[in-house]
Amino acid sequence: MRRLNTLFYGACLIALSGCGGGSGDQSTTPTTPTPSDPPAQTIDTGDLTVSIAGLPQGVSGNVTITGPDGYSSELSQSKTIADLTVGSYTVTANAVTAESLSYDVLPAEYTVDVSKNTTNNVELIYQSPVVSKGVVSNFGSIYVNGVRYDTSGTDFKDEDGEPSTEDDFEVGMLVTVVGRSDADGEHAQAEEVYFELKAKGPAEAISLTDSTLQVLGFVFLIDESTEFENTTLETLQIDDFVKISAIQNDQQQLVATHVELDNVDTTLKVAGVVSLLDEQSSTFSLDNLVIDYSTAEVEGVLADDEQVVVHSETTASEGVLLASHVKVIERESSDDDQDQSIQYALDGVISEVVDNSSFTLGDVTVSWSSDTEFFGGEASELEVGVRVKVHGTLTGDQLSARKIRLDKQGVIKLEGAIEEVNIDTRQVLVLNTLFTLDDHSKLKDKSSQKVRRMEITDLVFGDIVSIKAFASSDGDSLLVKQLTREAVSDEAPEGNVEIEGLVSSIEAPTLTVQDVNITTSAVTEFEVDGEALDADGFFAVVQAGHFVAAHAQATSDGQVLALEIEAKTNADGETSEYVKLSGAVHDFISAENFKVNGRLIRTNEFTHFEGGTQASLEDDVMVEIKGEEHSDGSIVAIKIEFESEDDVEEVEVKGAITAFTSITDFTVVDQPVTTDEHTIFKGANSESLAIDVEVEVEGVLNADGVLLAHKVDIESHQDEIEVSGEISNFVSAQEFSVNEQAITTTDETKFKHGNASRLADGVTVEIEGTLDQNNVLVASKIAFEKLEKVKLTGEVTSLSEQAFTIAEVTVEYSQQTQFEHGEASDLAIGITLKVEGRKQSDTLVTAEEIEFVDGEHDEHIEVSGKINKFTSATEFSIGARKITTDADTQYIGAEASDLTRGIKIHVKGILQDNNIVLAQQIEFDD
């Protein structure tokens, strides 16, 4: 019985009586009573307020009220019924059909005792069954697809359908909620919440370049919405056990919504919907992965379209996973009856736009009309590849949308301190930019507070948050996709700022990303498409619409000063041949061979070192690596930057002193500089500082944007000389010559376009330095000739020791050259290679990477049997194995046009990364 709220109104009866008299006469005159009507009988009454809610707009309720003395009344809207005779009344909410849905109230019948001079309230909220499939965006109780579901009486289930708890669920996990909800989602209860696992097992392959992760034969894309638990893609290592949930995009690729590191429970599992069930061969398909259940224990009855969880004791081989146990998941879901309409909410990626009023999400066709409400965008923005959350009425596989929320790709990502919080408007101000949260925004707390059910009320001034947001269709607001609190205000590192996004306007020395103004100065390091540039070069190339990523510092005057800024001239900024990762060096063997985050890092003569040298590398040293990722997961570093343990970014400025007040107050170019008792002066003492003196200053910026110098290198050109030419008489980095001038280097020598290992006879260099007492030039700077990076593909036409020829270009290789899918000993005339390297001349390339692409290393498999599913000559299946063809496929015994369901064929082909066989040859069975 629902609790009734009764409002009591105080009432009192006041009887007034009085005596009258003359002005001076105190005598009384007897009166004679006159006949009158008998007193009226008083009837005790009360009021009853019935509130009706939960139905779609414009739909009326159907409520019957019965009571004493044959009282009966019907209501369609909320109403207060006054002056009801005291007694017991029955309020009955009858079912209402609207938009093909049956709405009712549970319980449907209420008994109300109307008392004298009281008002009783009855709240009737119409609801209908609902199924919602999407990611968890928050807790308290649980938010899915923008609706808060009360979980006070919910049964939580794990991937096997076994009892679980809410604490086992995390933001980003894909779930299915089964329950009840009103039409607007304002009042919803979850009866059951199921975790939708996709795969659990060891990481088999990790690509930072492609942002992919392979587990048990499934390849998962990692995008900006993927949530990680206890790990990141950069720190994840091969054979780490992970638990992944995912949705499918428009290209039928799996996009991970949540990745959790779980090295405790090492049970191998995959889950999904059965297709291509072949009982004869005991196989079926989960997406493109073939499941062999011939030796498995099967719990339940297998059939196409059934939800299953597959346990295995081995990883997938040739796209086939051998199951040890298969469990059919039975759910008491409201969508079991395909002929009955239910409320349905779905999170997915548009795979096809059918027409101006419909599109598809996987197997579901979504239709919308002028009555459909749009959030986060407009109908005109619905296109293939856009992620949406749809709420409406599902009948069969047709979803009529009442609400559509566009979850567009983020246009800005930043990390900084909160400047304001407005709880009423659900907005936060970061870097003077206003961000709006809604019920779809994912909230997470990674600070020391670890608030699980984090709300905007938990955020305060000074908290460090990372935000991913996209612009609303009107451009007036930035809607938050994800907000993560990284640190609370009293433990936050001061001033650190990270910004990523598309340039909206640019005018040197500033640029704007959405509403964030970024300032650059003499301390800023610039890079465009992987190439270091100066400020003039940067602002000459970068335009509005280009992608930038900046590491910056917020100063006390409100500026955002970029310490490092990188631009990519392709608009989306996603495609890059370089990857980055940070961490501590471990398993150090040499400066050319060590690991970071479990990944093998290699260096070569072109690797640039910043904040240290090759000699600085050793175990436990913190570094940031930028380089090229190879197919074996190793990274060839093009840049290694040494990081401080306190995460304070050190910067440097070089140039002439343009203003000088004292040694603690001067300006280099446009950068204010100060010193303290810890500052080290090199080249001369501090008394040499003056206007026009050339210096190189290293230090950190304070909150006011002033550079506190750790080291000031005062350049004296009096003894400095320059030499340029080819190296000769090379013995070591400490002993060689240029133009007969003896040269040596030290740990302080700075290199450009390479490092000390590039020094060799015949290499052209420009050297600056000073002569020592032995007339040896001690190099302070060595600049190598910048060599263009080139790529070649072709057949080897000639072969010699440490070299071969492709298309009349000689390719030289060395011990530092990386080989993929083969070794140097596999080189032979006629094989096809891909070569990446440095152009020495029009006919000579020094190879950094050589890849064998002649097909020797492709995974060849053969499949025989009858075609049991046929879509076209380029898309069909044999049993649970999916087959595709292309223009190079050869046919024996018939033609491609003869392919059809039921015929028997033998296929030889290559197993692709998506577990689909690309047929090279198809032989028809007589």
Question: How many Å apart are CA 54 and CA 63, to the nearest integer?
Answer: 13
* Count of H-run helices and E-run strands, the chain: 1, 79
91 phi and psi angles, rounded to 5 deg: -105, 120
Q: What share of the chain is helix, strand, coil (3-state, %, to 5)?
A: 5, 55, 40
How many other β-carbons are positioned within 10 Å of the β-carbon of residue 255?
A: 18
Distance CA 432, CA 420 (A): 9
DSSP state of 458: G
Q: What is the mean pLDDT of residues 845-862?
A: 81
Beta strand ranges found along 396-495 (DSSP E)? 398-406, 412-422, 427-430, 433-436, 442-445, 464-471, 478-487
pLDDT at position 587: 96
The single-letter code of the amino acid at 580 is: K
- Residue 675 near residue 711 (C-beta atoms within 8 A): no
- In Å, how far are 177, 341, 352 from 404, measured between CA atoms? 18, 19, 16
Residue whose tokens read 């001076």: 24
101 within 8 A of 88, measured Cβ to Cβ: no
By mean pLDDT, which of 54-58, 267-271, 715-719 is the weakest?
Answer: 715-719
Confidence of residue 645 (pLDDT cuts 50, 70, 90): low
Query: Contact at 8 Å (CB) between 269 and 197?
Result: yes
Residues paired with 601 in a beta bridge: 594, 635
Q: What is the DSSP string of 324-349?
A: EEEEE-----TTS-TTS-EEEEEEEE
| pLDDT score recorded for residue 520 | 94
Q: Percentage of residues in the chain with pLDDT exceeding 70?
A: 92
pLDDT tens-digit series, residues 747-797: 889 898 889 989 999 999 999 998 999 999 999 899 998 888 899 999 999
Q: Is 908 exposed, middle or buried (0-12, 13-18, 19+ CB in 10 A)?
A: middle
Total residues belonging to the chain: 926
User: pLDDT category, 853, cuts 50, 70, 90?
Assistant: confident
Beta-strand pair 307-312/320-328: antiparallel
- Report the DSSP beta bridge partners of residue 323: 312
**pLDDT per position as a tens digit, 870-898:** 999 999 999 889 999 999 999 999 999 99
Q: Locate tokens 């109300």: which residue?
A: 112
On the question of a cis peptide bond just before residue 30, with omega within 30 degrees of 0, the verdict is no
**Phi/psi of residue 898, nearest 5 degrees:** -85, -10
Distance of CA 663 to the CA centre of its chain: 48
The dihedral sign for the CA sequence 825, 831, 834, 837: positive
Residue 333 binned pLDDT confidence (cut-offs 50, 70, 90):
low
Distance CA 285, CA 274 (A): 6
For residue 884, give the nearest of 925, 914, 916, 858 by alpha carbon: 916
How far from chain centre, in Å, is Cα 407? Answer: 12
Exposure of 842 in the CB half-sphere (CA atoms within 13 A): 0
The whole-number pLDDT of residue 27 equals: 39
Residue 718 confidence (pLDDT)? 59
The answer to whether the CB of 822 falls within 8 A of the CB of 835 is no
Cα gap 34→115, rounded to integer Å? 38
Residue 264 reports pLDDT greater than 60? yes
| Residue 11 pLDDT exceeds 60 | no
Q: How open is the CA angle 61-64-68, to the nearest 5 degrees?
A: 155
Q: Which residues contact 34 (CB under 8 A, 6 or more apart)?
A: none
Q: Identify the band that residue 30 occupies on the pLDDT scale cut at 50, 70 and 90.
A: very low
**In whole numbers, what is the pLDDT of the chain averaged over residues?**
89
Give the up-direction half-sphere exposure of residue 620: CA atoms within 13 A in the CB hemisphere.
Answer: 1
User: What's the Cα-to-Cα distance from 682 to each of 688, 695, 696, 778, rounded to whole Å?
Assistant: 11, 10, 10, 15
Closest C-alpha among 221, 247, 243, 220 to residue 231 = 243
Cβ distance 198 to 284 under 8 Å?
Answer: no
The pLDDT of residue 1 is 35
User: CA torsion 580→581→585→587, rounded to 10°?
Assistant: -90
Token pair 């392919």: residue: 899
Place of tokens 């970029």: 562
pLDDT number for residue 529? 86
531-579 pLDDT tens trace = 889 999 999 999 999 999 999 998 888 889 999 999 998 754 444 578 9
The set of long-range contacts for 663-672, using a CB threshold of 8 Å and a minimum separation of 24, is 663/687, 663/689, 668/522, 668/695, 668/697, 668/707, 669/521, 669/522, 670/521, 670/522, 671/521, 671/522, 671/523, 671/697, 671/707, 672/705, 672/706, 672/707
How confident is the model at residue 646, as a pLDDT?
A: 62
Residue 302 CB neighbours (<10 A): 17
Continuous segment of H or E residues that includes residue 373: strand 373-375
* CA dist., res. 395 & res. 397, Å (int): 6
Asked if residue 716 lies in contact with residue 686, where contact means CB atoms within 8 angstroms, the answer is no
**Which H/E stretch holds residue 600?**
strand 599-602
Tell me the three state secondary structure of residue 38: coil
Contact yes or no for 82/46 (Cβ under 8 A): no
**Contact predicate 346/340, CB 8 Å:** no
Q: What is the spatial distance between Cα 382 and Cα 435, in angstroms, rounded to a whole number?
A: 23
Mean pLDDT of 183-206: 95
Report the pLDDT averaged over residues 203-227.
Answer: 93
Prediction pTM value: 0.84
Whether the pLDDT of residue 8 is over 70: the answer is: no
Using 50, 70 and 90 to split pLDDT, how confident is the model at 854? Answer: low
| Separation between Cα atoms, residue 893 and residue 384, nearest integer Å | 40
Tell me whether strands 741-744 and 777-784 are parallel, antiparallel or unpaired: parallel
Structural domains of the chain, with CATH: 44-125 (2.60.40.10), 128-195 (2.40.50), 267-330 (2.40.50), 342-406 (2.40.50.320), 410-492 (2.40.50.320), 495-573 (2.40.50.140), 579-642 (2.40.50.140), 651-714 (2.40.50.140), 720-784 (2.40.50.320), 789-852 (2.40.50.140), 860-924 (2.40.50.320)
**Kind of pairing, strands 803-806 and 809-812?**
antiparallel
| Residue 456: strand, helix, or coil | helix
